[in-house]
Amino acid sequence: MRSRRLVRWSGLALLAALSSFVSWADDWPRYRGPSLNGISAETGWTAAWPKEGPPVAWRASVGAGFSSVVVSQGRAFTMGNAGGVDTVFCFDARSGQVRWKHSYKAPLDAKYYEGGPSATPTVDGDRVFTLSKRGKLFSLEAATGQVVWEKDLAGELLAPVNEWGFASSPLVEGNLLFLNVGAAGTAVEKATGKVAWYSEQKTAGYASAMPLDLDGRRVLVLFTAKFLHGLVPATGKELWRHSWETGWDNNNADPIVDGGRIFISSYSRGCALLEVRDGRLHEVYQNENLHSHMSTAVKIGSHLYGFNGREGRGRPNDFRCLDFLTGEVKWKHEGLGVGALSTADGKLLILSETGELVLAEARPDKFNPLSRTQVLGGRCWTMPVLANGHLYCRNAKGDLVCLDVQGRK
């Protein structure tokens, strides 16, 4: 009898473990997802939304900011500012119950927009890493929020704070944490926060660092205030650079890497496709067919989908599709402002600037929306995130909504 009970309880424990594994199989632990490309591998979620949109699982208010949501092991994390205080939030991903909060004094730093944190937390194992607009860097226990280490990175390095504050989401590679702080980045030891290398005391860019495998070696790609850099991750040694100056040092969108090709785009300059050959960067094309404002475009197959933010000069903002290899515009769709997007299962998850959630097919011949619903108001520049059958959207003032899009048989 005892052996039967042991077998029964062992079976239940195994089922529980498998259930937990399945429920976390489609986590989104860092900015722009597991593969850093804005694409979710999740399947089985429902794209058949009722007229009023997917049901709301929960709502929360997290304070002003543009920090996206990351999801890991049943927890959802984001950041916001209220009353001169930044707060890192940890929610139960399904219920919305607050598991913990970590707060510290920080100015709102609103300038032509609402202000608040711009970087997104990064979860790595049992740690979560965050960066504030003024350069405060934290390592927190993901389960409890307890501080493992903290440092005033900008103060320690005498690194100038750029006009709209630091915005890069921490990138974890091996034992190091990479940040767009300084002229060409900074690396710290993720276990201790000790600075491993630092470039120069010059203004940083806003984009997050990207890894690239090239000819058998790992390269760190960093889009800074004035250049696109290729760096040796361990030392910060520069391998190559490409000049890309804009009117306000506003290189905001992350580089899109595809083998040895790198696509960059900025609000006031346009876009370019570069290719690494023989240890040097070569320009494939440069044009004004995509001006990425805040949101990075996504590459699906041989095409790019993204927001074009070239406001003024008689040209309205729009959402468009480009041929990745030629830069040719395939189509344009107006009326969405300059919002943000991600993709899953061949579909575009678009959050317009005014909070309309649009589900559309990712196809290069035309813009084909499948569902549209108003989920938020106010300004929305933050990427919608799909993880484990739930879709997370937020606006600038800190309204966060979690939608239930689980596919049910």
Model confidence at 1, pLDDT cuts 50, 70, 90, reads: very low
Write 264-272 long-range contacts (CB < 8 A, 24+): 264/223, 264/228, 265/290, 265/291, 265/292, 265/297, 265/306, 266/291, 266/292, 267/291, 267/292, 267/293, 267/309, 267/310, 269/244, 269/245, 271/322, 271/327, 272/244
User: What would the mean pLDDT of 221-226 be, rounded to a whole number?
Assistant: 96
What is the residue-averaged pLDDT of the chain? 92
pLDDT, position 6: 39
Examine residue 248 and state whether it is found in any structural domain, yes or no.
no
> Does position 313 have pLDDT exceeding 80, yes or no?
no
pTM comes to 0.93
Q: Which two tokens stand for residue 288?
A: 């004004």
359-398 pLDDT, tens digit each = 999 999 999 999 999 999 999 999 999 999 999 999 999 9
The reply to whether 152 falls in a domain is: yes
Say if residue 234's pLDDT is above 80.
yes
Q: What is the pLDDT of residue 20?
A: 40
Confidence category of residue 251, pLDDT binned at 50, 70, 90: very high
Percentage of the chain surpassing pLDDT 90?
86
Q: What would the DSSP string read from start to end of 305-348?
A: EEEE---STT---EEEEEETTT--EEEEE-SS-S-EEEEETTEE
Q: Domain range for residue 147?
A: 67-200
pLDDT tens track for 63-118 = 999 999 999 999 999 999 999 999 999 999 999 999 999 999 999 999 999 999 99
Average pLDDT over residues 211-225: 94
- The band of 38, judged by pLDDT with boundaries at 50, 70 and 90, is very high
Q: What are phi and psi of 396, to 5 degrees?
A: -65, -35
**What's the number of domains the chain is made of?**
1
In a domain, 8, yes or no: no
Give the CATH number of the domain where residue 181 resides: 2.40.128.630
- Residue 368's identity, in one-letter code, is N
Position 24 scores a pLDDT of 61
pLDDT at position 312 is: 56
**Structure confidence at residue 278 (pLDDT):** 86
The pLDDT value given to residue 316: 78
pLDDT tens-digit map of 41-56: 999 999 999 988 999 9
pLDDT value at 21 more than 80: no
Looking at the domain assignment, is residue 294 inside a domain? no
Report yes or no on 228 lying in a domain: no
17 found inside a domain: no
Domain assignment of residue 131, yes or no: yes
Q: Which two tokens stand for residue 164?
A: 């709209």
Residue 215's pLDDT is 86
Q: Does residue 61 fall inside a structural domain?
A: no
